[in-house]
Every structure is written in C-alpha cells, then in structure tokens.
Amino acid sequence: MTDRATQIVNFYESTLASSLIGASGTGTTLSQAPTTDGSSSISATVGDEDTWYYLVVAPDTAGSREVIVVKASSGTTITNVGRDVEGRYASTALPEHTSGTIVRMAVVAGHIQDQNDRVATNITSLTTAVSDFNTDGAAAIANINAASADAMMEGATDGTSITPDNENDYILVYDNDTTTAKQVKLNQLSLGASLGLVIALS
C-alpha cells in the first residue's frame, strides 16, 4: 500500500443517497457523513493521503461487496473514489451500487497495510539518521555554527536539578576561535584552572 495515516472513525454506517455505477462511477452522495464524535464530519483531500478513508460498500452482500478509498469529500458528498481497493473484481466488471446500498466504515486490510508501511518508513528513516550520526557524529557536532549554538543554548531547559554522575557525561562548549562546538567531558574538568575555565557543578 502506501505510507499514510488513513482516517477511521467508530460505528459509522449509512447508505448511498445516489448511485455509484460500474467502472465509471467515482463519486456519489452518502445519506449521512462519517463523523468523529457523532456530529463533526470528516473530509478527505486530494493530494493529502493522510486524510483519505476507506468505506465498504454493500458489506453484507458477498457478490457485490467492494472496498473503496475516498480521496476527496465534503460532508456527504464524495467526489474522488478509488474503486475496488482489494482487486476483487480485477477480471470482471465492477458492481453497480444503487441508492440505498449500505456503506460501512470498518477496519480493513488497507488500514493495517498503511500503518505497517508508515512504521517501516519511519524505522528506515530513523535507522538512516542514527547510522549517519554514528558514521560522522563529530562532523555533525562540528557543523554547529554560532547561530545554531545560540538557539540551542536558548532552547536548553533548566539544568539545576541535573546531577553529573558519570565521567563520560559532557557539556558542549562553543569555541569561538575555531567557530565549532566541542564536547568537554567531566573527566576533563580538572583542566579547567589551567584553561582559565571555571565550571561550577552543584
């Protein structure tokens, strides 16, 4: 499937207010719109796959059951429908759904596949980021410039409750002579006097 956070709501079931006919039908009107809380309707937008949602048309009729994905909607009107998501009718004509046909929102395979793809994509991105940092972490830190160092310091939280308890704990110091950020480990702090650096830890 694809990496998207497909919408789903609880307990939605309605009927078609107009027909969804054969292969040419890509839009229709629902009797009631899907809602998040019984009153706030959801909508889908072309180009924003995270807003799309699945519906099952004729869910209780095996011969014409069809899973669709709604790609554009506003209230009860759906105007861009991806038909036969399962490929159930790959070798036959798509069914004709007439006014009054039940439509239901249920967990379908597409939801799980979309979420699995999203997780896999994010794990890949995270793995790449960690690998890149491990490969060239020193360069990544060295590339901190004055502006980003200032922003980092301004965004830092209050550290008065921190208790340094490991000689490998470190602080970042911006070296203005080389315009790079440098790590100073706790086991280096004994050199502070000779460096003219006074660091108080409480």
**H runs (alpha helix) in 84-200:** 109-142, 146-155, 192-195
pLDDT digits (tens, 9 = 90+) for 35-49: 988 889 999 999 999
pLDDT digits (tens, 9 = 90+) for 81-104: 999 999 999 989 999 999 999 999
pLDDT digits (tens, 9 = 90+) for 49-84: 989 999 999 999 999 999 999 999 999 999 999 999
Give dist(CA 120, CA 51) in Å, integer: 20
Sheet containing 13-15: order of strands: 13-15, 102-104, 53-57, 66-74, 77-82, 28-29
In this prediction, residue 4 carries a pLDDT of 80
In this prediction, residue 24 carries a pLDDT of 84
**Per-residue tokens: 178:** 């080389």
pLDDT digits (tens, 9 = 90+) for 102-155: 999 988 877 777 777 767 776 666 566 566 666 665 565 556 566 666 676 676
For residue 180, what are the CA distances in angstroms to 104, 117, 135, 156?
A: 59, 39, 19, 18
In this prediction, residue 201 carries a pLDDT of 44
**Per-residue tokens: 117:** 């793809």
162 vs 23, which has greater pLDDT? Answer: 23
Averaged pLDDT of the chain: 80
* CB environment 170-192: b (16+ within 10 A), e (fewer): beeebeeeeebbeebebeebeee
**Per-residue tokens: 76:** 């009860």
